[in-house]
C-alpha cells in the first residue's frame, strides 16, 4: 500500500511539474506522417504534423483506434518550434475584431503580444478568423510554448510585422490587377484577378 502511494505521488509530481513535456518531444516527430489507411472508429483526436511537401505544420484528426497520437505534436506551437520556426500563423496574427451585429457572443482570440488567448465579445457577423469558440482550440492552434516564445519574442514579432506588410502589399497588387475592359457597347466592365490574398501571401513565403 505504501509502495503504491509513492508511485501515485511520483506520477502526480511528474504531471504537475513545470518541466514536464510531451512524450519524446523532439525533431524526430517532424518525420511522422499521418496514416490514412488504418480503419476508422468512433474517434477524433486532433494533432499536428509537419508536411514536408509544403514545408508547413498542419492540423489533422486521428480517426483510427490504433495510434496513440504520441508521435505527433499536441499543438501547432510545438510543431512550429521543432519543425518550421519561420512559419506564419496568419489568422492568429489578425487583430481582435468584434465584427458587426447585435449579438453578444463570448469568443477567444490570440493576443500575439502576450502569447495568450483572451476573451472578447463577438457581435455575430463578419470579423476575422482570429475568433475561436473555445479557449483550448485557440491555444492549440495559435499559442507558442512559453519558453520558446520568451526566447524568440523579437523574431516572432518580426515575422508578424513582415507578414502584415506582405499581406498589405498583396492587397495593393490585387487592386492594381483590377482592369477595366471596354465592351463593344462602350460599357465598362470591371475584371478582378481571382487569386486570393492568402494565396498571394503564401507565394511570397
Domains of the chain listed by start with CATH number: 21-83 (4.10.410.10), 88-151 (4.10.410.10)
| Per-residue pLDDT tens digits for 134-163 | 999 999 999 999 999 999 999 999 999 998
Q: How far apart are CA 188 and CA 19, in angstroms?
A: 65
Percent of the chain exceeding pLDDT 90 equals 59
Q: How far apart are CA 57 and CA 144, in angstroms?
A: 13
| Per-residue pLDDT tens digits for 11-65 | 433 333 333 344 556 889 999 999 988 999 988 999 999 999 999 999 999 999 9
Closest CA to 78 of 31, 30, 137: 30
Alpha helix ranges (H) inside 26-152: 76-83, 135-142, 146-151
CA distances from residue 112 to 91, 154, 199 in whole angstroms, order as listed:
11, 11, 23
Report the predicted TM-score, pTM, of the whole model to 2 decimal places: 0.68
Closest CA to 203 of 158, 176, 156, 170: 170
Q: How far apart are CA 47 and CA 119, in angstroms?
A: 24
* DSSP 8-state code for residue 96: P
Amino acid at each position: 500500500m505504501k509502495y503504491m502511494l509513492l508511485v501515485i505521488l511520483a506520477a502526480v509530481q511528474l504531471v504537475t511539474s513545470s518541466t514536464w513535456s510531451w512524450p519524446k518531444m523532439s525533431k524526430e516527430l517532424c518525420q511522422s506522417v499521418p496514416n490514412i489507411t488504418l480503419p476508422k472508429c468512433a474517434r477524433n483526436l486532433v494533432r499536428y504534423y509537419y508536411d514536408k511537401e509544403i514545408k508547413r505544420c498542419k492540423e489533422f484528426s486521428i480517426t483510427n483506434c490504433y495510434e496513440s497520437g504520441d508521435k505527433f505534436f499536441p499543438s501547432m506551437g510545438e510543431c512550429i518550434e521543432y519543425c518550421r520556426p519561420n512559419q506564419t500563423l496568419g489568422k492568429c496574427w489578425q487583430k481582435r475584431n468584434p465584427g458587426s451585429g447585435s449579438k453578444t457572443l463570448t469568443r477567444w482570440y490570440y493576443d500575439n503580444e502576450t502569447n495568450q488567448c483572451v476573451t472578447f465579445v463577438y457581435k455575430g457577423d463578419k470579423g476575422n478568423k482570429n475568433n475561436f469558440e473555445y479557449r483550448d482550440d485557440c491555444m492549440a492552434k495559435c499559442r507558442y510554448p512559453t519558453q520558446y516564445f520568451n526566447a524568440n519574442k523579437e523574431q516572432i514579432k518580426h515575422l508578424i510585422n513582415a507578414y502584415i506588410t506582405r499581406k498589405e502589399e498583396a492587397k495593393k497588387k490585387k487592386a492594381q490587377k483590377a482592369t477595366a475592359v471596354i465592351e463593344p457597347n462602350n460599357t465598362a466592365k470591371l475584371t478582378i484577378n481571382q487569386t486570393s490574398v492568402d494565396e498571394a501571401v503564401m507565394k511570397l513565403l
